[in-house]
Amino acid sequence: MVWTDRVRQVKILLVVSAVLIAVASLAISHFLVRDLLQEERNNVEVWAEALRSLNNADEQTDLALVLKVIGGNENIPVIVMDDQGNVQQYRNLKVRGKSAIDSLHYIARRAHSMKSRGNVVRVYLDNSTLQAGQEYMDVCFDESLMLRRLTYYPYVQLGVVLTFVVVAIFALLSSKRAEQNKVWVGLSKETAHQLGTPISSLMAWVEVLRETYPEDELIPEMDKDVKRLQRIAERFSKIGSLPEPKPENLNDVVANVVQYIGRRTSNKVQLHVDMPSHPLIVSMSAPLFEWVIENLCKNAIDAMEGRGSITLTARDEADCFSVEVRDTGKGIASKNFRNVFMPGFTTKNRGWGLGLSLAKRIVEEYHRGRIFVKASEIGKGTTFRIELPKKG
């Protein structure tokens, strides 16, 4: 298992844990709100009973406790209606309406809404006999303001926590990405610096050999390889600094890569090029973009185990210039289409897994383009696609 799979599993575990915590929090809040709602209903029943006692009171009745219970309700909105559906009184309710009639209609609508939700306590005025036609009153009630706030509070809390977590993760990933970039930049510049001295020495030795053996046919080839090393060092030195793009013929850039790869691979690998006859002028850094194409070709050769064909296609499309590199290798699993561009991801026994990561950075950050796996099938091959924007 590669480390990217482990990272994915950790992310999934964290997400699942967060979901479970959120569900548990909402469940606990739900049960708490349900219990409080039942308690409020009990309080309304006591209040309704006090109201019935007040309605049936006579000269012998002590109303102190009854009035204390009725006056003690300062939170729960209640509306009292008779058996004809007429509003008798209300409490803890903000009335809306420009006139008394409008206010009465509003209170009636609120009462029917409370009834439809089952928030009603029916109190019979005379408990001595329960029979048809007996007078009663309906005490309709709604959740108190505190209970409604408590109902919405868990969602607000989860939203705030989620926002904080997202911001924290984004900051952490940005910091990690910036740290990785510093590592890659430092490594690239140090590599370019270390290559500088031996390349200079090799260039001098090539000149000595050319003067000593002017007829030797191998010396020009050695000179090409030394210049190649110089170009590679130049590429490494450009990592971390924004190169100045220049108008280049995309056909020539692809042709240079094909020529270089063709001389350094076996005849068992066939290279095919499909490009338009007219030049494709693109604003780019040619040394860095050649590096990207070389990387894709070298990965293709490794995937084909030194036997197969590579097709490079360049096109002038409606909204971009495109380059596609198609091979007949072992292919990539669909779950790894994005992982292949992550630093450290590799399916080979050797290698650091940095080639495609650097290629992605060169294409997206330096050329404002896109690079992605267009298609892949296990055992049949892979197609990488690069899209470069058109200027103007």
Work out whether strand 308-316 and strand 381-389 pair parallel, antiparallel, or are unpaired.
Answer: unpaired
Q: What is the mean pLDDT of residues 5-13?
A: 66
244: which 2 tokens? 């100045």
- What is the reported pTM? 0.51
Residue 36 has a pLDDT of 86
Compute, in degrees rounded to 10, the torsion defined by CA atoms 90, 95, 101, 105: -70
The ranges assigned to domains in the chain are: 3-143, 243-389
When pLDDT is cut at 50, 70 and 90, the band that residue 328 belongs to is: very high
**What pLDDT is recorded for position 315?**
93
* Two structure tokens written together for 71: 């006056």
Ramachandran angles phi, psi of 210, nearest 5°: -65, -40
Residue 227: half-sphere exposure toward Cβ, Cα within 13 Å: 9
Q: Which two tokens stand for residue 143?
A: 């959740």
Read off the pLDDT of residues 28-60 as tens digits, 9 standing for 90 and up.
888 888 888 888 888 888 888 888 888 777 766
b/e 258-291 (16+ beta carbons within 10 angstroms → b): bebbeeebeeebebeeebeeeebebbbbbbbbbb
Sheet of strand 120-124: strand arrangement: 87-91, 78-82, 136-141, 120-124
* Span of 89-103, 231-245, 361-375 with lowest mean pLDDT: 231-245
Q: What is the DSSP letter of 243?
A: P
Which numeric CATH code is attached to 243-389? 3.30.565.10
Predicted confidence (pLDDT) per residue in 184-214, tens digit: 677 777 777 777 778 888 888 888 888 888 8
Per-residue model confidence (pLDDT) at position 392: 47
